Amino acid sequence: MWFDERPAPDWSIELPPGLELLNSNQRLHPMAKARVTKLLRRAGHRASLAVGLPRLERVYVVGELRPNDRRRRDPGNWYPSAKAAVDGAMTDAGVLVDDDAEHLVGPDMRLGPVVKGGQLVLHVWRGTDA
Q: What is the pLDDT of residues 75-105, one digit of tens each?
A: 999 999 999 999 999 999 999 999 999 999 9
CA distance 98 to 102: 8
CATH no. for residue 24?
3.30.1330.70
Number of separate domains in the chain: 1
- Residues 1-7, mean pLDDT to the nearest whole number: 64
Whether the predicted pLDDT of 1 surpasses 90: no
- Report the Cα–Cα distance between both ends of the chain, in Å, rounded: 18
| 60: containing domain | 9-126
Examine residue 90 and state whether it is found in any structural domain, yes or no.
yes
pTM of the model: 0.92
Examine residue 4 and state whether it is found in any structural domain, yes or no.
no
